[in-house]
């Protein structure tokens, strides 16, 4: 058996092999296991560079013991029996081709024939219709400037030379596993493509899955017999799980002279196709095996998506819409929809993103819990109080560990080896009912299970086109002598080795941006564990405590800067030293405001509001300045250090009379201030939406009584009181803006504390205004 399909010049063969071994041992390992970048390689001066195909060395059975480099290149844990069927080609700059097996790997000197498409009238006008032999598709398209080129797959498409004559081709088609939209479309396009493009007349259908190879007669298929089957759901060939007997299947393939086998099914079916290929190769048969991946869960590895997935997501919208109508039409209504997704929640995730009516999406990749802080029950309770209804979408594989804790049951498997799942939708329905009953909450829940509805319908337009391209790509590859699984990789159809799609499974990455988009759409919690929540809370609390001092200083400076706009400057220290201080309030005269300043130091928003109230306490003289002129000076400033002033011995609670020897302010300023106050909108008339902090109420109007039982200060001192009210409005709205910006939640507790803080603030403001009279 030859170790390579590429023959190098004898004088350069040893050098090229040594260079390839070096690159495989270091460069490929760095590509997958470390961020080290591959330096660019320059050819030796004066030496002609070999063509790209000549720099590739094929790793085959004779290349092991270099299995470690092969595993690093394919990023897989290969079994020893799989390693003998894996082919890697390695080129410059970290290029690795994970190639598919070919007939010439075990049958040398096979004759080739011209491709019949070159004489086909429909393709005669196509420019460069045949695929170049060196065309490959990268597995990853996002790379860095100097990173290695990475793993590639052989590009799908027609080749200029084929390894089967049209008259000698005997092809068979089999469908296995569960149903999926588009199965009949793939069958139709395989039959019509073989007939119309390659003039193949012997196409047979295998009925009822793998067991149909040895338990039933083959069904002849022609373009006429499959003309309109794409308009129907399901599969005209029938399907089943299990029944895979490799020896019996290959015996029938050999006895009937089949030389092309097209197998449509999921990852388990592709594993069976891989075993069939291995047995065919051991027997040395000239048979090509082409796998077309089919799964409604979209969990096939490597490929972008499987056919039928778009149709399933579109059909799932109908169930979600129905659940939303049921939930929104009832008081505290809940619509629960269970969708398919045994190990991967792609259908649930994409259906949720497309719907925008879903409040919670549960998938197998993201564990959740029911009770406790941050659990599902708490979120359901909060959502019902906010919206009076909610819609929950759950994948069938989600929450199986929670069900197992409450319903002990032995693990069971179906004929395909998949674990039998318990009904998470029904279990979750009963759990939510019990929780609402314990809370004495009236609730209506509707459980909708469209699991088998979304897979039994015909494919939509986009899936029909996708199925056609998959079928044609499979035909081109089989005629060219390859055995593979066909799929779209980064938007290009490619031939993928069997081991790449059978050794792992595609799953939703909850650390990816797509899952973050879903959380942003539903506003659901991430359902982290309580330990994670506690750790995050302690970290946030420590960070808030460290920033408390800085926030208070910044807020104080901000209020000072904003409060001096249009306000007369306070008197200087020298002026205060020559004026008698008759009514300065001691620090103890503002217990409510000081309490508001020191309340809950771990909350930034509350600290900022307290700082704003403290600033007003420290600078009460500026409350008597309006936005249009100077008002009566109220001597309540604190003594400036170094001036010799001191606090008077005024008993606590004694009301200090204002200073009488200051000239009154002009009346024009009063009119301007009154006009500005009247032009301000009534904040109570504005109803904020959910998630918005309620703004503080305005000061009491003339018809309202003050806190101390007297009439409103606006009656007795129009100029000073209106200006003070305007000033108080300004500071209140500044505090409201800061509260709204710093607020991260809209809980009832936060609202109540905010109301109490504002009540104390307005009470102390009214006391100071009355004191200024």
Q: Which position among 105, 297, 359, 615 bears the catalytic label?
A: 297
Count other Cβ atoms within 10 Å, centred on residue 647: 13
Q: Can you tell me the distance from the alpha carbon of 16 to that of 47, in angstroms, rounded to the nearest whole number?
A: 14
Q: Can you tell me the distance from the alpha carbon of 603 to that of 544, in angstroms, rounded to the nearest whole number?
A: 7
What's the burial of 407, exposed, middle or buried (CB within 10 Å: 0-12/13-18/19+)? exposed
266-301 burial string, b = 16+ CB within 10 Å, else e?
A: bbbbbbbbbbbbbbbbeeebebbbbbbbbbbbbbbb
Q: Give the chain's end-to-end CA distance (angstroms, integer).
A: 108
The neighbouring-strand residues paired with 488 are 493
**69 phi/psi in degrees, rounded to 5:** -65, -35
Enumerate residues 6+ apart whose C-beta is below 8 A from 519.
526
Residue 645 · residue 572 · CB < 8 Å:
no
Residue ranges with strand state E in 368-412: 389-395
What's the burial of 32, exposed, middle or buried (CB within 10 Å: 0-12/13-18/19+)? middle
What interhelical angle do 183-198 and 461-479 show, nearest 10?
50
Count other Cβ atoms within 10 Å, centred on residue 226: 22
Q: Can you tell me the distance from the alpha carbon of 33 to that of 274, in angstroms, rounded to the nearest whole number?
A: 28
Any idea what DSSP says for residue 145? Answer: T
Q: Can you tell me the distance from the alpha carbon of 475 to that of 637, in angstroms, rounded to the nearest whole number?
A: 91
Give DSSP secondary structure letters for 45-110: TTSPPPPGGGG-EEE-GGGTTTHHHHHHHHTS---HHHHTT-EEEE-GGGEEEEEPPBGGGTS-S-
Q: Can you tell me the distance from the alpha carbon of 99 to that of 88, in angstroms, rounded to the nearest whole number?
A: 6
C-alpha triplet 521, 526, 422: angle, nearest 5°: 100
Give DSSP secondary structure letters for 330-342: STTEEEEEEE--S
The whole-angstrom distance between residue 17's C-alpha and the CA centroid of its chain comes to: 45
Q: Can you tell me the distance from the alpha carbon of 359 to that of 220, in angstroms, rounded to the nearest whole number?
A: 50
Q: Which of 641, 758, 740, 624 is nearest to 689 (CA)?
A: 740
The neighbouring-strand residues paired with 96 are 90, 151
Any idea what DSSP says for residue 375? Answer: S
381 is catalytic: no
Q: Can you tell me the distance from the alpha carbon of 276 to that of 272, in angstroms, rounded to the nearest whole number?
A: 6
Residues tagged active-site: 297
């Amino acid at each position: 058996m030859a170790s390579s399909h590429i023959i190098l010049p004898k004088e350069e063969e040893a050098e090229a092999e040594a260079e390839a071994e070096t690159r495989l041992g270091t460069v490929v390992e760095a590509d997958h296991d470390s961020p080290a970048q591959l330096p660019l390689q320059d050819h030796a001066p004066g030496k002609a560079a070999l063509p790209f195909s000549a720099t590739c060395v094929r790793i085959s059975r004779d290349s092991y013991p270099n299995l470690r480099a092969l595993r690093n290149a394919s990023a897989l844990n290969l079994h020893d029996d799989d390693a003998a069927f894996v082919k890697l080609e390695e080129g410059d700059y970290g290029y690795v081709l994970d190639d598919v097996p070919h007939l010439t790997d075990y049958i040398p000197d096979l004759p080739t024939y011209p491709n019949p498409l070159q004489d086909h009238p429909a393709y005669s006008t196509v420019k460069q219709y045949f695929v170049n032999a060196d065309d490959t598709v990268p597995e990853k398209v996002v790379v860095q400037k100097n990173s290695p080129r990475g793993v590639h797959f052989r590009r799908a498409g027609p080749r200029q030379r084929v390894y089967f004559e049209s008259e000698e081709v005997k092809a068979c088609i089999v469908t296995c596993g569960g149903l999926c939209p588009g199965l009949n479309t793939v069958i139709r396009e395989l039959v019509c493509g073989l007939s119309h493009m390659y003039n193949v007349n012997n196409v047979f259908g295998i009925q009822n899955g793998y067991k149909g190879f040895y338990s039933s007669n083959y069904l002849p298929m022609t373009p006429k017999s499959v003309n309109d089957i794409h308009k129907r759901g399901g599969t005209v060939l029938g399907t089943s799980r299990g029944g895979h007997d490799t020896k019996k299947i290959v015996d029938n393939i050999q006895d009937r002279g089949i030389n092309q086998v097209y197998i449509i099914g999921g990852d388990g079916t592709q594993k069976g196709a891989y075993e069939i290929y291995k047995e065919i190769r051991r027997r040395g048969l000239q048979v090509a095996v082409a796998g077309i991946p089919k799964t409604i869960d979209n969990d096939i590895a490597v490929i972008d998506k499987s056919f039928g997935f778009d149709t399933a997501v579109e059909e799932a919208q109908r169930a979600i819409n129905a659940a939303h109508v049921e939930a929104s039409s009832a008081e505290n209504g809940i619509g629960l929809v269970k969708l398919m997704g045994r190990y991967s929640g792609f259908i649930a995730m994409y259906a949720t993103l497309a719907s925008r009516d879903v409040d919670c999406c549960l998938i197998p990749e993201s564990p959740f819990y029911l009770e406790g802080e941050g659990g599902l029950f708490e979120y359901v309770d909060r959502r019902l109080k906010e919206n009076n209804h909610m819609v929950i979408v759950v994948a069938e594989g989600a929450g199986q560990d929670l069900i197992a804790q409450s319903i002990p049951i032995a693990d069971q498997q179906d004929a395909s080896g998949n674990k039998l799942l318990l009904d998470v939708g029904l279990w979750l329905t009963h759990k939510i009912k019990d929780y609402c009953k314990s809370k004495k909450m009236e609730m209506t829940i509707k459980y909708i299970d469209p699991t088998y509805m979304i897979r039994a319908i015909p494919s939509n337009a986009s899936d029909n086109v996708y199925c056609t391209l998959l079928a044609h790509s499979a035909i081109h590859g089989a005629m060219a002598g390859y055995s593979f699984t066909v799929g779209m990789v980064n938007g290009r159809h490619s031939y993928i080795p069997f081991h790449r799609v059978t050794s792992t499974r595609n799953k939703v990455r909850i650390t990816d941006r797509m899952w973050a988009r879903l959380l942003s759409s539903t506003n659901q919690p991430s359902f982290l564990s309580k330990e994670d929540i506690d750790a995050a809370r302690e970290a946030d609390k420590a960070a808030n405590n460290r920033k408390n001092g800085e926030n208070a200083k910044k807020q104080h400076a901000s209020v000072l800067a904003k409060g001096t706009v249009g306000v007369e400057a306070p008197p200087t220290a020298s002026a205060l030293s020559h004026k008698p201080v008759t009514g300065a309030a001691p620090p103890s005269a503002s217990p409510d405001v000081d309490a508001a300043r020191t309340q809950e130091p771990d909350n930034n928003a509350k600290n900022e509001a307290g700082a704003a109230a403290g600033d007003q306490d420290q600078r009460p003289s500026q409350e008597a300045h309006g936005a249009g002129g100077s008002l009566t000076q109220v001597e309540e400033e604190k003594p400036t250090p170094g001036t010799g002033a001191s606090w008077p011995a005024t008993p606590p609670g004694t009301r200090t009379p204002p200073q009488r020897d200051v000239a009154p302010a002009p009346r024009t300023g009063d009119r301007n201030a009154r006009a500005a106050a009247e032009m301000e909108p009534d904040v109570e008339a504005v109803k904020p939406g959910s998630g918005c902090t309620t703004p503080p109420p305005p000061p009491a109007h003339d018809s309202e009584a003050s806190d101390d039982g007297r009439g409103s200060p606006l009656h007795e001192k129009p100029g000073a009181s209106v200006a003070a009210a305007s000033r108080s409005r300004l500071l209140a709205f500044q505090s409201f803006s800061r509260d709204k910006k710093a607020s991260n939640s809209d809980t009832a507790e936060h609202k109540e504390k905010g109301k109490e803080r504002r009540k104390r603030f307005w009470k102390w403001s009214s006391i100071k205004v009355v004191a200024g009279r």
